[in-house]
Each structure stands twice: as C-alpha cells, then as structure tokens.
C-alpha cells in the first residue's frame, strides 16, 4: 500500500510540474455561456442578491488527492456540494478548481454535474489549466441567462498550474421596482497559491481589465491570501479598484485549514453593500464556502443595521 501511494503521489507531482500536453493560452477570450430553457426568467428580481463562492477541490472533499479516490466517491462529494448549493437558494455561484473531464478526477465534467444536480440551468466554465492529466478552471452558475461573458487566463507561472477568472453579466431588478434592470458583473477568480509575487502580477492583470468593466461589480473566489499578510495582494485590488470588503479583521471567517486562514473572499463595488456574510461550517472541500447577500446602495426597500454588518471600504 505504501508503494502504491508513493507511486500515485509521484504522478500527482509529475502532473503539476512536467508539461504533458497543451496548456491553456493566457489572455482574454470571449465565451458563449450555456443555458438550458429558463422560459421568460431572464432577470433576477429578488430584493437582495445572494451569493456563494466555493473551491471545489476537484471533487476530493478532504481526501489526500483526487487521483487516490474512486469516481463514485468524487460523484458523492460533488452531490454533497450540489445539495448545499440548491439549499442555499443563491442567485449566483462562483466555483474554482472546477474540472472538465480529466483523468485525475473521474473523467466527467464537474461543473455540468453540479449545475444539473443543484438545478442551476445557466453556466460559464473557463479552462485555465489543460494538460493530459487534467483540465480545470473557474466557473459561474446562475438561474438566469448571462447576457455577456468572458474568460481570462493569467500569464503562465511555472512550475504551478495556470490560474485565471471568468466573468459573466446578469440583469437584476430588485423587487421589479426599477424602471430598467441593472447589469451586474460577476467574477469567479483563482489566484496562485505558491508566491506572493505571482499573485500580485495576477491582480494587476485583473485590475487592468476591471477599468473597462462597468459596475455594479462582484468578485468572488479563492485569492490564496489573507488581509493581514504584509503587502497582501487582496489589499492591493481593494484599494486600487475602490471595492468593499467585509470585516477584514474578523477571526471568525476563516475558510481554510479549519478556519485558520481566510483565503476565500467576496468583494463588491461601492454601489453595493453587504447585508449578510457567513462561512458555513461544512465539509464540502478543503475550503469552506462563503455566502453573502448584498443590496444596491440607497435602495429604500431594504433596511439594514450597519452596526451589525461591518464593512471596510477603500477611501
């Protein structure tokens, strides 16, 4: 058993560090979102926009590695995630480490599987890292169509795998009370885990693109950094892009290693504000999910006690 385990761990390292095939090219690409029949349901009308972000961890849950488990186990793990997403009732969902059919994780599309099981008919899936062993990236799920979408793969950062983000735009009309729905830009992002310098470069790539993206804007994902770290890449984008972030100093919102590290975040533009924010204590992945509800600033139909929902904004 020890030899068997070492053999597969060797393959994992080999898959990460040695080029086995094509790598997704860096840069921006437009992509056509997929959407099953949603009838006339093309605008979100909930008074609050509810959000979830989760790193799928390639369907391994807390397992050592996805290559060391049966496909049936991967499917059960993803079913648990789908059940959580369905129960959450979220309007918009951001996913990271989301696999297309890959040798190392069961040879089936994890995004399609989760979307179908959780009854989210619309999706956009970006492929940032593609080799013979794997094909994965970021994704967005919704119950309404995306009116626009694009993907961006950051510049290669060997020896680690490529990372990037996917952007989708949806229409939102809280309670149907606006004369016209607003277009909300949603981003699911995954930054490099190994080096601060790489994360900073990736943040700069993303920030340059954000200059051309109209608000309201929501950025969700695995930033692989916390707020308190010196020269945090997260601080950089919040300050430069003039975004809001929820309770940066809280020690109760950790998302990794049993809450020891807060790596997963939701950032919003200044024309939005947080109404709620939570990290459910569920074992779905090696990361905890993050949930939030947000509202348009100056929406008189929603009352909020700001003393109970602390926010940090870059001034």
At residue 214 the predicted structure's pLDDT band, cuts being 50, 70 and 90, is confident
Query: What span, in angstroms and rounded, lies between the C-alpha atoms of 77 and 94?
Result: 17
3-40: burial string, b at 16+ Cβ within 10 Å, e else: eeeeeeeebbeebeeeeeeebbebeebebebbbeeeee
Q: What is the pLDDT of residues 247-302, one digit of tens each?
A: 999 999 999 998 999 999 999 999 999 999 999 999 999 999 999 999 999 765 55
CATH number of 21-313: 3.60.10.10
Q: What is the pLDDT of residue 32?
A: 67
Distance between CA atoms of residues 113 and 116, nearest Å: 5
Question: What residue spans define the domains of the chain?
Answer: 21-313
Give the predicted TM-score (pTM) of the model: 0.88
* Cα 44 versus chain centre, distance: 20
Each residue's pLDDT tens digit, 17-69:
434 333 555 666 766 678 876 666 899 999 999 999 999 999 999 888 888 89
């Amino acid at each position: 058993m020890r030899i068997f385990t070492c053999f597969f761990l060797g393959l994992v390292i080999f898959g990460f560090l040695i080029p086995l095939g094509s790598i997704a090219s860096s840069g921006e690409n437009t992509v056509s979102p997929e959407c099953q029949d949603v009838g006339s349901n093309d605008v979100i009308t909930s008074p609050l926009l509810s959000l979830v972000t989760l790193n799928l961890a390639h369907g391994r849950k807390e397992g050592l590695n996805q290559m060391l488990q049966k496909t049936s186990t991967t499917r059960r793990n993803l079913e648990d995630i789908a059940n959580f997403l369905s129960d959450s009732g979220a309007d918009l969902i951001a996913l990271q480490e989301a696999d297309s059919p890959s040798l190392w994780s069961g040879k089936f599309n994890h995004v399609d599987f989760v979307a179908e099981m959780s009854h989210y008919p619309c999706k956009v899936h970006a492929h940032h890292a593609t080799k013979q062993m794997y094909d994965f990236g970021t994704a967005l799920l919704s119950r309404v169509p995306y009116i626009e979408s694009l993907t961006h793969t950051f510049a290669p950062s060997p020896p680690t795998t490529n990372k990037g983000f996917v952007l989708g735009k949806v229409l939102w009309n809280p309670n149907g009370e606006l004369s016209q729905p607003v277009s909300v830009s949603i981003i699911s992002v995954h930054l490099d885990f190994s080096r601060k310098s790489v994360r900073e470069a990736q943040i700069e790539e993303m920030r340059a693109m954000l200059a051309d993206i109209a608000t309201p804007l929501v950025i969700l994902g695995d930033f692989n950094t916390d707020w308190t770290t010196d020269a945090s890449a997260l601080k950089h984008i919040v300050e430069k892009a003039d975004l809001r972030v929820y309770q940066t100093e809280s020690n109760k919102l950790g998302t990794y290693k049993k809450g020891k590290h807060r790596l997963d975040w939701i950032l919003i533009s200044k024309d939005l504000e947080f109404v709620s924010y939570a990290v459910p204590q569920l074992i779905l992945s090696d990361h905890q999910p993050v949930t939030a509800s947000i509202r348009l600033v100056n929406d008189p139909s929603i009352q909020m006690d700001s003393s109970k929902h602390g926010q940090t904004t870059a001034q």
